[in-house]
Amino acid sequence: MEHAPLEQTGARNVELARRALEAANASPPEYATMNALFHRDHEFVSRVDALERGIHRGARGYRAWLRDAGEAVEWEGRLEEVRAIDADRVLAIMPGRVRGKSSGVVLNDERWGVLMTLRDGRVTRTEVYSSAEQALDAARLPDRARSAHLELVRSVYSRWERGDASSSDWAHPQIEVVFADGPNPGTWRGLSGLTAGWREVLNAWEHFHPEVERYEELDDARILVLVRWHGRGKRSGVQVAETGALGAQLFHIAAGRVDRLVTYLERERALADLGINV
């Protein structure tokens, strides 16, 4: 299978990012266009102090952020420049002004930077920064950030493989914990949710733990870990490894903490969801 040259990929991503930003910043936002251009599991990350900071996932999360921001502030801005950084990322520069709706006070009056990640013709992640310089700094950090992220994930597994799951200092206080398959799929949030989610799994197994086979750095924010599950069924007494339990875990990392952890008991499901072969 031949791949398009980097120049063609970059130009296509620039155009897609431009259309996506114009749709999101229209008044009212053009949701039909956004649905076509943003991935269903899109992550929107606000790093702007004048607006609500945090991570908002999926179409609902992004719409909720747009709605809440629109109720609190008035935004005046325009697209000044959109350019490709590499095969997957685009940087947009947007001079803008944020004014409190009730107070009229100017809360931010700078050239914003928007860092967008695109795959297969869809925007998968959008990070908004208070200045273009901050976005550029973030774009230049991948090698150092990836190294730090990998070390963080390795440190988590070094404990888990010893059967020590007592520490949660690696997790963001608002972490989202997802079990994508298995007997008890579901989503939990926060450190209490991290404990509750794993309790659901551990209730069915004795000495349940992962053995790492391979780490895959997918991008600046995600690390996929291919694992082999070990443990014994509490009722059946069957060793999970005997059933060929090849699984995976997907770590989403921001600001030095894991803010989303997706666990797959079946590896093929993970690879299918991510659209990759390893």
pLDDT digits 0-9 by tens, 62-75: 777 777 777 766 77
Q: Cα separation of 78 and 81, whole Å?
A: 9
Q: What is the dihedral of CA 276, 215, 62, 180, to 10 degrees?
A: 70
Tell me the pLDDT band of 248, cut-offs 50, 70 and 90: very high
Q: Among 2-11, 106-115, 224-233, whose mean pLDDT is lowest?
A: 2-11
- Confidence tier at 237 by pLDDT (50, 70, 90): low
State residue 263's pLDDT score: 92
Using the structure block, give the residue that is written with the tokens 């995976």. 248
So what's the pLDDT on residue 2? 44
Per-residue confidence (pLDDT) for residue 36, from 0 to 100: 92
Residue 8 pLDDT > 50, yes or no?
yes
Q: How confident is the model at residue 1 (pLDDT cuts 50, 70, 90)?
A: very low
Is 233 a residue whose pLDDT tops 70? no
Main-chain dihedrals φ then ψ at residue 108, nearest 5 degrees:
-155, 135
Q: Name the 3-class secondary structure at 157.
A: helix
Amino acid at 89: R
Most confident of 16-30, 44-58, 89-103: 16-30
* pLDDT > 90? residue 225: yes
Give the pLDDT of residue 109.
66
Location of each CATH 3.10.450.50 domain in the chain = 6-139, 142-274
| CATH-assigned architecture of domain 6-139 | Roll (3.10)
Q: What is the DSSP string of 188-224?
A: EEHHHHHHHHHHHHHTTEEEEEEEEEEEEE-SSSEEE
- Euclidean distance between CA atoms 107 and 98, whole angstroms: 5
Count of CB atoms situated within 10 Å of the CB of 268: 12
Q: What percent of the chain has pLDDT over 90?
A: 19
Min mean pLDDT across 76-80, 214-218, 241-245, 271-275 is at 241-245
* Residue 239 pLDDT greater than 60, yes or no: no
Write down the mean pLDDT value for the chain.
80
What pLDDT shows up at residue 235?
A: 63
pLDDT digits (tens, 9 = 90+) for 142-174: 555 567 888 899 888 888 877 677 788 899 998
Neighbouring C-beta atoms of residue 262, cutoff 10 Å:
21
Please give the pLDDT value at position 219. Answer: 79
Say how far apart CA 96 and CA 98 lie, in whole Å: 7
| pLDDT tops 90 at residue 209 | no
Residue 111, helix vs strand vs coil? strand
| 185: CB partners within 8 A, 6+ apart | 179
The fold for domain 142-274 equals Nuclear Transport Factor 2; Chain: A, (3.10.450)
Q: Residue 207: is it exposed, middle or buried by C-beta count within 10 angstroms (0-12/13-18/19+)? A: exposed
Average pLDDT over residues 241-249: 73
* pLDDT reported for residue 146: 61
Q: Which residues contact 198 (CB under 8 A, 6 or more apart)?
A: 165, 177
